[in-house]
Every structure is written in structure tokens, then in C-alpha cells.
């Protein structure tokens, strides 16, 4: 943004009648002075472009509607950068450059702290641009505007949900044991490949990215893969292959590898197939093991026949041996599968134990230190005159014990959830009453000057599980108050429409980075922006599981140093009685 040159002060002193009209007008009036880019000394013929507008004067109505002074020091685009995207700046610029022709423009502006439908009219007067405007702040919302706002809110929620799902899908693909790759165009250029497929190819992701697959793996050419891929690209029909043999180079040697392959076409919105998704699983060990078993079985059958011919008396014994061997092989296969499952479970359990021990040792240390220190100090207060000091430390002990109890309750809640012991029991409830009781529950958590602003639009009873909803709301409010400074306002909005409860909690706290937002609903995860504040990292995980039980969804929007908004969506039914 180019800096705004200081403009001469605008004065209406010589125009008393005009000044009186502007002062009493309910319509907002703004006088702008255009700001041009610096002239190019090397190109005298170059016409500087109009790049911004400087404020010269705002009448009282404009000051009130925009919450600005009579002559703001900042430029128009500094205060309203979204005016470029919404077309308002282009409208002003075109009006000024067109001369004294008056123009009109209508816009629904929901950016930069404003949220209204504006009607604009402007006209150039000499070297100034006069803009008049009105808003709908004091008027009822029209049905069209209300529908538009609801549509925009749904679109934002859908985008957030889609982004969450996209990130979750990418993490799944990154961590999947199966090899997954995306190849584009007739040369099958690798657009994306997960670590598993890169390990199979013996290449890094950087080497694979942007390289045609048959240049990346020249030994794969001539083995029929080109024909399979060409067929999928030409017909748009997926191809599935089981135990497809191929020859690839591994550790300097060419070996036979068996694959289970799925080739899926990637389509553009117009239906054209422009790429292919490949999902491959290396089943070489299974195929070789089966072939070995088949060979052993064949050899065993041959031995049985030979033994039967030589000695009929040994037939039963040989048959028993055969059955025993088959049973042993089946048992070995089952044990192998059980061992693999147990190993995976043990690894996950070990990781959870490590994270739990690390978190618990850190979170328990502070309240236990408070208890120990307070007990030692109480021992020093032996006289009646020191009763005030004793009570102070008793209160600290009580707070520390309450903190420990809250931590343990979160651990127990996770255990009950994962054991399937928590169920949703919907019943008719009065939402305003529930919210009032919840406010009383968290009153002790309020820091000096903090307030909770309740905006509830649910006059009729709804059918939901009151206990789970109350726990969810207490958890959200606790986080909002904990991570906000003194004097902050936490806003709770609840609306009931079309058998759906939309509940949002907005704070003015430290915020969460986009990188950390991807992991917020994982067990024991804590954002780096709140690492200095006590917490278990289980709250949002528990909330998400409770919402899952109630058939609801959760969306989170946060900006560092600006705050966080958590929005819950819960379907419900209306019944006259339980």
C-alpha cells in the first residue's frame, strides 16, 4: 500500500448552509482526495495510476455509521482492504476518472469490522470525490439479506469442514501403509506420492514429485503397466489387479514383486479424465508364502502316495501327520496375524503411555508443589493471630486439589468414552436455563474484568442430552476464560432453527496457529501458544467424542493474538413430553 500524502485540511467554514445540511443529514457523506502512484522520471508520458483515497471530511452521520473521526489519518484502503475484492474501490476510482457523472453502487459489506448492506452514490467535484451512502443498521433485515447471511455462514462452515476433512485425508494417506500416488497427463507425471510408495520405488518424495513415472522407474516400462494406465485414461473405467507380478530394481538387484493395484481415474468438473490415482499394496511375502505352502503340500502329497504304496498300514499315520501339519500352519498364520496386531496395539499404547506420563508429571507437579509449600507454611503459623495466613494457604490447597480432581476427571472421562460406557440420553430441556446454570458453574473461573455475553435465540424446549451438552459448554467456556486476558469478553451465541442447534463460543484470547489447529482434537495435544498454561490436552478430544455420540459436529476458527471461535452444530427433535 502506497503511503497517503498529507492533504490540506478541508473546511466548510465558508459554506454555512452546506455545513448545516451535512451535519443534520441522516445520510453519510465523505469527501475523498485521490492518491496517485509516484510519477516515473524515466517515462514522462506515463500516466500515474490512482491507487488509494485520502479522507478529507466525514459528516456526523458517516462518522457514526463507520465509527471514524471527521478526518481519519489512515487511507481508505488501509482501513478497508477488502474494498478491492468487493469492487467498492473500483467503483470510486471509475467515478473519479469519469468526471462529474454521478454513479450508484449497492454492496453487502461484511469485512473489516463492518456488517451491513450499503447503497453508495458518488460524483467527482473538481479534485475531490463526494460519496454519499446509507446502511441498514437501523432497518429490519430483509428476507433476501437474511437468507444471504445464512447461506454465507453455511458456506464458511462447509469450507472449514471441507478443509478439516482434506487435512485429515492427507494425514491418512501420509500415514497409510499402502502405497498411494497421483499421476497426471498422458506422460503420467507424479503429482503426489506418499512415503510408502516412495519407499517401494527407492526414491525420495522430492525426486518423485514432477517426474514421469516411467522416467522415475525405467525398469517398469514394457511390463504392461503403460497399457493398463492408457486404458484407464482413455475409458475412465477403474482397473483392479490382484497379485500382479512385476520386475523392479531394489538394492542394485532386479527382483520380482507382486502387487494388488487399483487404478482410479481423476476427472475434471467437465468429466474429462486428466489423471490417475494409484493405490498399491506389496503382497510379495504373502504370494511367496502361499507358493511355498503349495509346494510343501505338493511334496507332502507325493510322500503320502509313496508311503501308501509301500505300506498301507502307515496311511492313517501319514494322514494324521498331514492334518497336524496343516493345523500347525494355520495356527502359525493366525499367530502371525495376532502378533502383528498385538505389536501395533503395543506401539500405540506405549506412545500413549509416554505422552500421558510426560503430561501427568508436568500437570501434577504444579498443584502438588502448591499443596506442599502451603502445608509447610501452615506449620509455621502456630498462633491464633495468624489464622488469616492459614486460611489463605488452605484456600490454595483447596484450589490445587480441585485442579488435580479436574485433571483426573478428564482422564476418567476419556477412559469411559473409549470403553463405550458413555451414551447419549436425549430429553426435553430449556436451553436458556441450561446456559444460565452453566454460567454459574464457571463464575469462579472469571479473571478480573472478564465477562460472558449470552445471546440465546431458542425460546422452545429442545430434545438433547443435557448432561453432555453442559459438560461440552463448561469445557469450552473454561478454555475461553483461561486463555483470555483480564477484562476480555467471551461471547456465547445459541440459535435454534430447523431442528438444529448452532452454538458458538468466541473469545479474545491468544489464538491458535493454523499448523496446530490440525492436531487440536488429538489426545494430549496442546497448542504451542498455550504451552505455558496448565492443561491436559484432552478437553477438545472429549468434546469431539461427546458430539459424535450426539450426532453433532464441531468447527474451529482461530487467529493468533486475536482469539478463537468454536462452533457446534447439533441436530435435535421437538417433543411435547419425554
3-state per-residue secondary structure call for 255-291: EEEEEEEEEEEEECCCCCEEEEEEEEEECHHHHHHHH
Lowest mean pLDDT among 82-96, 205-219, 294-308, 339-353: 339-353
What mean pLDDT, rounded, does the chain reach?
Answer: 78
Sign of the Cα pseudo-torsion (550, 555, 560, 564, in order): negative
Average pLDDT over residues 475-492: 87
- Residue 385 or 98, more confident: 98
Q: What is the pLDDT of residue 72?
A: 93
Q: How far, in Å, are 279, 507, 510 from residue 559 at the CA level?
A: 37, 11, 8
Cβ contact 51:35 at 8 Å: yes
- Mean per-residue pLDDT for 342-368? 55
Q: Taking the complete model, does pTM exceed 0.75, yes or no?
A: no
Q: Give the mean pLDDT of 187-193.
A: 88
User: Is 352 a residue whose pLDDT tops 50?
Assistant: yes
Q: Can you give the pLDDT at residue 114? A: 85
Does the structure show a pLDDT above 90 at 54? yes
Count the neighbouring beta carbons within 10 Å of the beta carbon of residue 164.
18
Which is more confidently placed, 4 or 233? 233
Buried b (16+ CB within 10 A) or exposed e, 224-243: ebeebbeebbeeeeeeeeee
pLDDT score at 163:
65
Collapsed DSSP state (helix, strand, coil) of residue 445: helix
Predicted confidence band at 25 (pLDDT cuts at 50, 70, 90)?
confident
Average pLDDT over residues 483-499: 90
Cα separation, 453 vs 505, in Å, equals 10
Cβ(529)–Cβ(443) below 8 Å: no
CA atoms within 13 A on the CB side of 75: 21
Average pLDDT rounded to a whole number, residues 91-99: 89
pLDDT tens per residue, range 453-476: 989 888 888 898 888 888 888 888
Rounded to a whole number of angstroms, the CA Rg of the chain reads 35
Q: Are strands 273-282 and 189-193 parallel, antiparallel or unpaired?
A: unpaired
Q: Is the pLDDT of residue 10 over 60?
A: no
**By three-state DSSP, how is residue 74 classified?**
coil
Residue 289 has pLDDT above 80, yes or no: yes
Phi, psi of 263 (to 5 degrees): -105, 115
Q: Check residue 328 and give its pLDDT.
A: 80
Mean pLDDT within 510-532? 67
pLDDT-derived band of residue 407, with 50, 70 and 90 as boundaries?
low
pLDDT at 52: 94
Q: Give me the pLDDT at residue 34, please.
A: 94
Specify the higher pLDDT residue, 384 or 162. Answer: 384
Nearest to 519 by CA among 171, 285, 246: 171
78, pLDDT greater than 50: yes
62-72 residues labelled b (16+ CB within 10 A) or e (exposed): bbebbebeeeb
Grid look-up 443534520 returns 24
What is the CB-side half-sphere exposure of residue 363 using CA atoms within 13 A?
25
| pLDDT score recorded for residue 225 | 86
Rounded (5°) CA angle 378-381-384: 125
* Closest to 57 (Cα-Cα) out of 74, 65, 69, 44: 69
Please list, in sequence order, all residues whose beta carbon lies within 8 angstroms of the beta carbon of residue 84, skipping any fewer than 6 positions away. Answer: 77, 90
DSSP E strands in 396-496: the ranges are 427-429, 451-457, 462-464, 489-496
Query: Residue 388 to residues 374, 392, 396, 402: CA-CA distances in angstroms?
Result: 13, 6, 13, 21
If you average pLDDT over residues 188-192, what whole number do you get?
Answer: 89
Q: How would residue 510 be classed by pLDDT, with cut points 50, 70 and 90?
A: confident
CB of 501 closer than 8 Å to CB of 572: yes
Query: 413 pLDDT band (50/70/90 cuts)?
Result: low
pLDDT (0 to 100) of residue 138: 60
Average pLDDT in the 424-431 region? 86
Higher-confidence residue of 49 and 359: namely 49
pLDDT > 70: percent of the chain = 72
The whole-number pLDDT of residue 141 equals: 58
Q: Is 169 a residue whose pLDDT tops 60? A: no
Provide φ and ψ at 527, rounded to 5°.
Answer: -65, 150
Q: Name which of 544, 387, 531 is nearest 476 in CA terms.
A: 544
Cα atoms found within 13 Å of the Cα of residue 348, Cβ hemisphere only? 6
Dihedral Cα 288, 289, 293, 296, nearest 10 deg: 70
Amino acid at each position: 500500500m502506497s503511503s497517503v500524502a498529507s492533504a490540506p485540511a478541508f473546511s466548510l467554514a465558508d459554506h454555512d448552509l452546506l455545513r448545516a445540511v451535512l451535519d443534520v443529514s441522516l445520510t453519510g457523506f465523505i469527501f475523498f482526495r485521490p492518491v496517485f502512484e509516484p510519477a516515473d522520471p524515466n517515462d514522462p508520458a506515463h500516466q500515474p495510476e490512482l491507487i488509494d483515497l485520502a479522507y478529507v471530511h466525514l459528516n456526523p452521520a458517516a462518522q457514526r455509521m463507520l465509527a471514524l473521526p471527521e478526518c481519519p489519518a489512515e487511507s481508505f484502503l488501509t482501513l478497508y482492504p477488502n474494498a478491492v475484492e468487493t469492487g467498492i474501490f473500483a467503483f470510486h476510482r471509475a467515478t473519479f476518472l469519469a468526471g462529474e457523472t454521478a454513479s450508484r453502487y449497492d454492496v453487502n459489506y461484511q469485512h473489516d469490522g463492518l456488517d451491513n448492506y450499503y447503497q453508495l452514490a458518488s460524483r467527482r467535484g473538481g479534485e475531490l470525490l463526494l460519496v454519499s451512502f446509507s446502511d441498514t443498521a437501523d432497518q429490519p433485515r430483509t428476507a433476501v439479506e437474511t437468507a444471504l447471511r445464512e447461506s454465507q455462514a453455511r458456506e464458511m462452515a462447509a469450507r472449514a469442514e471441507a478443509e478439516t476433512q482434506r487435512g485429515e485425508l492427507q494425514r491418512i494417506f501420509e500415514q497409510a501403509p499402502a502405497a498411494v500416488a497421483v499421476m497426471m497427463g498422458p506422460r503420467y507425471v507424479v503429482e503426489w506420492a506418499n512415503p510408502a510408495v516412495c519407499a517401494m520405488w527407492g526414491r525420495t518424495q522430492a525426486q518423485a514429485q514432477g517426474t514421469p513415472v516411467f522416467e522415475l522407474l525405467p525398469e517398469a516400462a514394457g511390463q504392461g503397466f503403460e497399457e493398463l494406465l492408457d486404458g484407464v485414461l482413455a475409458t475412465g473405467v477403474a482397473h483392479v489387479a490382484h497379485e500382479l507380478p512385476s520386475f523392479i530394481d531394489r538394492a542394485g538387484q532386479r527382483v520380482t514383486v507382486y502387487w494388488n493395484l487399483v487404478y482410479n481415474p481423476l476427472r475434471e468438473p467437465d468429466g474429462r479424465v486428466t489423471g490417475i490415482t494409484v493405490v498399491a499394496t506389496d503382497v510379495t511375502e504373502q504370494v511367496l508364502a502361499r507358493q511355498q505352502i503349495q509346494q510343501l503340500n505338493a511334496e507332502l502329497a507325493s510322500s503320502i502316495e509313496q508311503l501308501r504304496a509301500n505300506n498301507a498300514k502307515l496311511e492313517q499315520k501319514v494322514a494324521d501327520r498331514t492334518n497336524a501339519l496343516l493345523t500347525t500352519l494355520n495356527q502359525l498364520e493366525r499367530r502371525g496375524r495376532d502378533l502383528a496386531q498385538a505389536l501395533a496395539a503395543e506401539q500405540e499404547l506405549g506412545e500413549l503411555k509416554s505422552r500421558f506420563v510426560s503430561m501427568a508429571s508436568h500437570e501434577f507437579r504444579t498443584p502438588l508443589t502448591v499443596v506442599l509449600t502451603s502445608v509447610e507454611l501452615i506449620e509455621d503459623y502456630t498462633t491464633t493471630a495468624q489464622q488469616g495466613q492459614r486460611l489463605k494457604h488452605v484456600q490454595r490447597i483447596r484450589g490445587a486439589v480441585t485442579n488435580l480432581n479436574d485433571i483426573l476427571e478428564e482422564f476418567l472421562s476419556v477412559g469411559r468414552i473409549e470403553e463405550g460406557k458413555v451414551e447419549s440420553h436425549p430429553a426435553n430441556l430449556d436451553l436458556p436455563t441450561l446456559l444460565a446454570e452453566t454460567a454459574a458453574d464457571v463464575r469462579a473461573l472469571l479473571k478480573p474484568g472478564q465477562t460472558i455475553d449470552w445471546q440465546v435465540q431458542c425460546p422452545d424446549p429442545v430434545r438433547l442430552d443435557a448432561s453432555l451438552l453442559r459438560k461440552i459448554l463448561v469445557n469450552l467456556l473454561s478454555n475461553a476464560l483461561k486463555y483470555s486476558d483480564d477484562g476480555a469478553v467471551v461471547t456465547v451465541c445459541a440459535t435454534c432453527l430447523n431442528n438444529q442447534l448452532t452454538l458458538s463460543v468466541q473469545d479474545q484470547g491468544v489464538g491458535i496457529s493454523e499448523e496446530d489447529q490440525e492436531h487440536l482434537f488429538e489426545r494430549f495435544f496442546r497448542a504451542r501458544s498455550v504451552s505455558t498454561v496448565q492443561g491436559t490436552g484432552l478437553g477438545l478430544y472429549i468434546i469431539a467424542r461427546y458430539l459424535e455420540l450426539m450426532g453433532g459436529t464441531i468447527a474451529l476458527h482461530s487467529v493468533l493474538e486475536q482469539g478463537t471461535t468454536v462452533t457446534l452444530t447439533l441436530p435435535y427433535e421437538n417433543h411435547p413430553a419425554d
